[in-house]
Amino acid sequence: MIKPSNTWIVVADGARGRFFKASDDMKTLVSVGKADMVSPESRQQPRELKSDKPGRSYSSSRNGARHALEPPHGYQKLEKHRFMADLADILEAACTKEEFDDLVLVLPRRSLGELRGLLSKKVQKRVRREIAKDLTNETAAALLQHLAPHLRSTFLTVRPSGV
């Protein structure tokens, strides 16, 4: 028997995450969960994320010149990494509760690679498609239009009738 699978479509970037699934008639995308994930810190400029000036150091030569030290990591990249870790935790919790059968991940290429490294093996086994696009600002209707060619086989899967 062909039965619609409970497929979540995760559309995210480094600062916003949205969760969708197909409606019963498979013609629209319906939002899953209470609200979108938003991390405004990831969109801020690095100078706004850190309040202190960078430290200073003397030059290695003996001319007495001082230079500002660069931070070891970009603060904006750290915020984006924290956001991806939170997204991975949410997907792990939903997978444990069996809220979805399959996952479709739609993220920009860099965020997709980072999220892939943070997902547990259990969640990775449920990923059916990975689409490297930034579609976080699209409406649900526009999303369905963009993703329709990629998702035709993902929405319908053959499952035993008792499952």
Q: What is the pLDDT of residues 54-74, one digit of tens each?
A: 555 555 556 666 566 565 667
| Neighbour tally for 75: CB within 10 Å | 17
Contact 111, 80 (CB under 8 A): yes
Contact 53, 28 (CB under 8 A): no
Taking the C-alpha atoms of residue 52 and residue 38, their distance in angstroms, rounded to an integer, is: 25
For the stretch 70-95, pLDDT in tens is 656 677 788 888 899 999 999 999 99
Q: Which fold has domain 2-39+75-158?
A: Nucleotidyltransferase; domain 5 (3.30.420)
Q: Domain extents for the chain?
A: 2-39+75-158
- Enumerate helices (H) and strands (E) in the chain, giving the number of each: 5, 10
**Which pTM was predicted?**
0.74
> Which residues are within 8 A (CB) of 34 and not within 5 positions of it... i.e. 6 or more apart?
none
For the stretch 92-142, pLDDT in tens is 999 999 999 999 999 999 999 999 999 999 999 999 999 999 999 899 889
Taking the C-alpha atoms of residue 18 and residue 87, their distance in angstroms, rounded to an integer, is: 10
DSSP E strands: which ranges in 2-107? 2-4, 7-12, 16-22, 29-31, 37-38, 56-58, 66-68, 102-107
